[in-house]
Structure 1
Amino acid sequence: MKIKIPILILIPILVAAFSACNQQKGLSPEEARAIAKEAYIYGFPMVVNYKTMYAFTLDKINPKYKGPFNYLACDARLLTPEDTTIVSPNSDTPECYMWGDLRKEPMVITVPKMEPDRYYSFQLIDLYTHNFAYIGTLSTGNDVGKYMITGSGWKGETPQGIDKAIPCETPLFFIVVRTQLFDPDDLKRVKEIQDAYKVETLSEYLGDEPGAGAESINTPKWNEGVQFTAAMFPYMNAMMNIVEPFPEEKELMERFAKLNIGKGKTFNLNDFDPGIQKAIEEGVDEGFSDMENFTKKMNSDPIISAKIVGTRKFLMQSAKENYQMDNFYLIRAAAAYIGLYANSGEEAVYPIYLMDADGNPLNASTNNYTITFPDGQLPPVKAFWSLTMYDGKTQQMINNPLNRYLLNSSMQKGFVYNKDGSLTFYIQKDSPGKSLENNWLPAPDGSFDCIWRLYGPEESVLNGEWVNPPMEIAKD
């Protein structure tokens, strides 16, 4: 018996098959592999950025959920060893977070007057993970301020009373707010400051009726692990659908389109024949390997973050001058891989102690350590510095009898200085003695590492003239 299939049913099937074949026409495995590698490196930051956006703003049952778009979520508390959701948590600056939507109108950020010696910052991050601007102590000062964030398509006027209009090249953006905490007794004041921060739409700021809301966007459910495989490309496409292609990347987008990657595209690995599928997967693996290899080579650079994080313009310049690269996509991807939302170099850098002065791993179960600053050689910063202790296995803070997880510049008056004016920190699991406990950073009974946070590093830090002193095994 012959089965007749209506021609109208066959047409879309034939069109889809023709489209898939046409997409692959003239596409060799070598070209597919190269394009997949390039697209993976280009898109990785956008995809891990989407992961945060999905958790913070879209997935209401996620423990990391903060609230809807345009809602500033703040948390004024001192992080302790009980806070295990964040790797290498920061206890210097209680944070606020917000995902902003600029598609219909700008956002206005209002900040209160701050004490002259208190650091704060609004780090503004676009969908590509560029730090496109800062508001805060080091960039705009500590006075009252009003700042308007505009999307790329906005053509309106800047209202009176706005101190500065700041353009963002993407319609959605992320804010990380940091407010310096001097000590546990300062928490109440930090909360008052956080409560005084205000982020609102332009219509809310002007007291006007809000217009119609923006159209919904495609927000695929996040599946952890996709960022390391070709399964990331549908997420990359979702992000590319939100942004407008950068003019200088037109040829790049045309190459990506050969694999159905880009604005208006639908990527499905199964649309390609087995040879091309294999090549795409190999290209993704090569892209990830390039990211890993780059970060391994750069681990010895104490100010690496100052070279791979910043504005689009800065990254283009840094890639050429520091790494002799034709484009900046690899350094942008590496930054997203090892330190998503790290500060730009002029705002903060993060030297890390992983080894002692002799190149051996740090372990407080067998050794006591010291860090000694010659007289007048404390970290040169415009804002403040801190040194935080982390367990070497978990990257979490350490339970200790002093409930002390860091040493910072706010403690300077209480430090015990040596007779020659130098300052020694004691890094060990047991007290160095009551008289020296103000200089003690308690370590775990095992492996550990320590991270410097230098806020507002002076030029001597950024150019490598000043380096943090070595972690030395204590002499008996």
Structure 2
Amino acid sequence: MLTKRDLLRSVALAAITASTANSALAQVQTGAERPGFLKAKDIAEAGFIYGLPIVMNYAVMHEYAIDRNSGQFKAPFNQIKNEPNVFTYKDTAIVTPNSDTPYSFVWMDLRAEPIVLSVPAIDPKRYYSVMLCDGNTYNYGYIGSRATGSEAGDYMVVGPDWKGATPPGIKKVFRSGTQFSVAGYRTQLFNPDDLGNVRKVQDGYKVQTLSAYLKEPATIGAAAIDFPKIDKQLVKTNFFEFLDFALQFSPPQENEKEMRAQLARIGVGPGKTFNFKDLSLEDKLEVGLGMKEGQRKVDEAVANVGKEVNGWRISSLPGDSAHYNGDWLKRAVAAQAGIYGNDAAEAMYPLTRVDGEGQTLDGSKKNYTLTFPPGQLPPVNAFWSLTMYDGKTQLLIENPINRYLVNSPMLPSMKTNADGSLTLYVQNKSPGADKEANWLPAPDGPIYLVMRLYWPRTEAPSVLPAGEGTWKPPAIAAAK
């Protein structure tokens, strides 16, 4: 009789066959360094949860800054790429993408020297932010409307081991926890006719090495790196090989030293005693089981993240290293729910897959409405939006009116009810010409909805603290 474990092992074997078929199996290792048959599963499970955000980040970095043929390539390291448009269904590198704010990106290689990010003076009425996120997916700093104001300024980003003087004129120094890091710029777009103004703001974003900023010759160069190709299929079979590669650029922080030591026992990361690919077939099967269980735990945690309020899940997942404090599951959930999400102070993200009755949202079966009572729109200092995603892929959906969200800048063109309330129509087909201004097109299948509250108010009414705030998002109602 097959036990559940036997069945899982057969599934794991199928999953890893591709990674083992072309390599000779090593002799079973003996001695204290070998993790052991059952221990390998436990290490792999914990290591998968720990490593998921790191590998996800590497995959995006590879598509955006390394692989010029990826179809998603933006710019080489230390060069900014401005996107003078919002994300659409054609953008697939990042799950749950923001379609509110045209993005700018710069992937920074901090190995040789710091990078200076310069921002222009920006109209205080136009929200913008520059989020600094390292290879661990820690948000280690912000520049922008909330964090530093709307004035022009020069800011320096340094690597984990950098030691040097701060030049005059630098307003603030931000230290990345890893040698590669990304700066994600969000610049508010008021309406489609505003794109030209956004481009002017983006043209004012400057990125340069410290030596260029100081008008001095660069004296040290960074060594060339052979970055391993990564895609969705390779991640399934080579996950720990990608994690192994990425960890060399990430000096261990105190709260992760034990996890790093455990990973080294299955051949992952600096300090490893043998290569992961040299594990025995038995251990590889156990690693496959561990990954499967780790993914199950992340999926379960994403589904139950935060606190449920009227069918919406409200949480404050993303943050810096201190925010996570070694809670690797919390970090993995933040990445899977929407990698590169903002800190709670910068933006809150109520999300839902269900209506107010707890029934799964499905555009092929029902039409829905979302009604904000009079005077109870989301309370923000900047702006708010509601974005529609495919419930299976968490990507934006193609639709006949090219509308992926509704947001507060659109309010003047929307129709309010006689009592001052605002009703949005969430459905696959048009609700009729008289209601199309308030229509958020839905997929012909499962629905995933995300609110974004940029620079949420802290005074009542407020969505903060997460799940406990005085403002609560209204429930999605299924049409009768």
Indicate whether the TM-score tops 0.5. Answer: yes
> Paired residue for 2:265?
258
TM-superposed CA distance for 1:186, in Å, is: 0.3
**Is the partner of 1:64 in helix, strand or coil?**
coil
Q: Deviations over 1:226-259 (max 9, x none)?
A: 4344x22222121121222223433333332222
**Equivalenced residues, count:** 446
Task: Note if 1:419 corresponds to 2:414.
Answer: no
The match for 2:256 is: 249
Q: How does 1:71-470 map to 2 (within 5 A)?
A: 71-80=79-88, 87-229=95-237, 231-265=238-272, 268-298=275-305, 301=308, 306-316=315-325, 327-364=326-363, 367-392=366-391, 395-401=395-401, 403-428=402-427, 429-434=429-434, 436-443=435-442, 448-459=447-458, 460-463=462-465, 464=467, 465=469, 466-470=471-475
Cα distance in 2, alignment partners of residues 408 and 236 from structure 1: 38
Gaps of 5+ in 1: 1-16, 317-326
8 Å CA contact 1:44, 1:227 repeated in 2: no
CA contact (8 A) 2:416 2:423 kept: yes
> Is residue 471 from structure 1 mapped to residue 479 from structure 2 by the alignment?
no
On the 8 A contact 2:241/2:276 being kept in 1, the answer is no
Give the Å deviation of 1:282: 2.3
Report the CA distance shift for 1:468/1:108 in structure 2 as closer, same or farther (over 3 A): same
3-state DSSP of counterpart to 1:462? coil
1:357-411 alpha-carbon deviations (Å, 9 max, x no partner): 333333456644332222211101121001233455664334335x544321112
Amino acid corresponding to residue 93 of structure 1 in structure 2: T
1:334, distance to aligned residue in structure 2 (A): 2.0
Cα distance between partner residues in 2 of 1:405 and 1:37: 36
Residue type of the partner of 2:48? Y
Cα deviation for residue 71 of structure 1 reads 0.9
The Cα RMSD (Å) is 2.8
Could you report, residue by residue, the CA deviation over 1:332-353 in whole angstroms, capped at 9, with x for unpaired residues?
1222223221222222222234
CA distance, structure 2, for counterparts of residue 275 and residue 313 of structure 1:
37
Question: Structure 2: how far apart are the matches of 1:389 and 1:455?
Answer: 17
Q: Secondary structure at 2:84's aligned position in 1?
A: coil
After superposition, the Cα gap between the structure-2 partners of 1:426 and 1:47, relative to the gap in structure 1 and judged at 3 Å, is closer
Q: Is the 8 A contact 1:102 1:172 kept in 2?
A: yes
* TM-score normalised by the chain length of structure 2: 0.84
Instruction: Check whether the contact 2:268–2:276 (CA below 8 A) recurs between aligned residues.
Output: no
Residues in 1 aligned to 2:55 and 2:89: alpha-carbon distance in whole angstroms: 30
> What is the distance in 2 between the residues matched to 1:308 and 1:55?
25
Q: Deviations over 1:69-101 (max 9, x none)?
A: 101111102445565666544321011122101
Tell me which amino acid in the other structure corresponds to 2:344: G
What one-letter code is carried by the residue in structure 2 that aligns with 1:468?
A: P
- Aligned 8 A contact 1:306 1:344 in 2: no
Using the alignment, how far apart are the partners of 2:477 and 2:258 within structure 1?
52
Query: Alpha carbons of 1:305 and 1:160: their partners in 2 closer, same or farther (altered >3 Å)?
Result: farther
Supply the distance in 1 between the matched residues of 2:273 and 2:231 (Cα, whole angstroms).
18
Q: Residue 463 of structure 2: SS of its match in structure 1?
A: helix
Change beyond 3 A, Cα 1:221–1:86: closer
Deviation at 1:115, TM superposition (A): 1.2
Q: Which runs of 5 or more residues in structure 2 are unaligned?
A: 1-25
2:39 is aligned to 31
Instruction: Answer with 1 or 2: which has the greater Rg.
Output: 1
Instruction: Please tell me whether the aligned partners of residues 384 and 454 of structure 2 are also in contact (alpha carbons under 8 angstroms).
Output: yes
TM-score by length of 1: 0.85
Which segment is superposed worse, 55-64 or 87-96? Answer: 87-96
In structure 2, the CA distance between the partners of 1:305 and 1:150, relative to structure 1 (3 Å rule), is farther
